[in-house]
Amino acid sequence: MSKATFAAGCFWGVEVTFRQLPGVTSSRVGYTGGNFANPTYKDVCTDGTGHAEAVEVEFDPTKITYEQLLDVFWENHDPTQVNRQGPDYGTQYRSAIFYYSPEQKAAAEASKARLEKSGRFSKPIATQIVPEATFFEAEDYHQQYLEKRGLASCHIKA
């Protein structure tokens, strides 16, 4: 199995999007990229921890590639927004790719460059591409939040 971590706004919708993909074996929501140990949702919502709401995805690379995951990431949020998605705002809602290897970094940078050159967006892409950081799993009630409530999505498609 391989791992990928993405931040694309509220983690509830991001998680359900990735969980539905064939080849994704598990996912969990949490907080990463900040400077505060063992944050809670309440801590992250203060916009003072530096953490992003993120989804950690485990996947079988023989069934789905990292590049395919990147495509889903780009398609399911607005990467031109700085520290916001839809009605949610703050650094915890930033767009970011947390890479685990030089290969993932190169793939993410190439994917971002292709998207920028495509002309799909009139504004620059604000997505950060940064090394993975300690991932703090969110509280249990956030895990598979939408599925537990019978909801299909809550994210903004770009």
- Positions marked active-site: 10
For the chain, the 3-state helix, strand and coil shares in percent, each to the nearest 5, are 30, 25, 45
Q: How far apart, in whole angstroms, are the C-alpha atoms of residue 51 and residue 60? A: 27
Q: With contact defined as beta carbons under 8 Å apart, do 93 and 127 qualify? A: no
How do 2-8 and 95-99 pair as beta strands? antiparallel
DSSP H helices, 8-155, are 11-19, 41-44, 66-75, 102-118, 145-148
Query: ∠ CA 118-77-47 to the nearest 5 degrees?
Result: 125
